[in-house]
Amino acid sequence: MDNSSPDRIDFEIIRLLQKNAWLSNKEIAAAVRLAPSTCHERIRNLRASGIIRGAHAEVSARAIGLNLEAIAFIKLAKYERAVIDRFLSDMESIPEVRNVFLVSGRYDVMLHVVVKDIDHLRNLGLDRITSQSVVVNIETSIVYDSRSRYELPILLDVTQRKGTQKKKGSARSRAK
């Protein structure tokens, strides 16, 4: 892959890595029918271009004593870029915070948190979240169950689809 947009093979590599980031280069190369050196170069380019940003281990929160998940809905006093950026960074730095979302609607920010128990959740809210002067209101919902999907949809560029259709059409025209 050069500096152009990802092609069909790149998307197949991405799809494989989204399902299992522990696949070896040799396994990926075999699956996409490339030489391992070519596959390695494509993966390196996908990382360098920022398309692949990292690989992470999925850890069971319950297995390490974090038995409660919650979503906190937060209303901020000021809707100014500097204030929001600082608040989002502060929230992201809290170890119990899994995700921080700046959203539209009734609330400004949503936090997905994991904690040991309800006391831990209360203390987190009081000590780290509502203690911030920019927070006007917080509502928290306990998560009873959740399902996560880590794969992003792979949407081929319209021009790639058209190019594929033209090639097929051209081959048919020549065959006649």
Q: Which of 55, 42, 56, 16 is nearest to 154 (CA)?
A: 16
How confident is the model over 29-38, as a mean pLDDT? Answer: 97
Q: What does the pLDDT read at residue 3?
A: 55
pLDDT tens-digit series, residues 44-77: 999 999 999 998 888 999 999 999 999 999 999 9
Q: Which of 73, 75, 74, 76 is nearest to 134 (CA)?
A: 76
Pick 163 or 154 by higher pLDDT.
154
Q: In whole numbers, what is the pLDDT of the chain averaged over residues?
A: 88
Amino acid identity of residue 54, one-letter, is G
Q: How deeply is 48 buried, as exposed, middle or buried, from its count of CB atoms within 10 A (0-12, 13-18, 19+)?
A: exposed
pTM of the shown model: 0.75
pLDDT tens-digit series, residues 95-145: 999 999 999 999 999 999 999 999 999 999 999 999 999 999 999 999 999
Q: What does the pLDDT read at residue 159?
A: 41
**Does position 157 have pLDDT exceeding 50, yes or no?**
yes
Angle ∠(124,128,132) on CA atoms, nearest 5: 140
Q: Which of 100, 53, 38, 55 is nearest to 73 (CA)?
A: 100
How confident is the model over 9-35, as a mean pLDDT? Answer: 95
Residue 150 CA to chain centroid, in angstroms? Answer: 7
Where do the domains of the chain lie, and which CATH numbers do they carry? Answer: 1-58 (1.10.10.10), 62-143 (3.30.70.920)
pLDDT tens-digit series, residues 71-85: 999 999 988 999 999
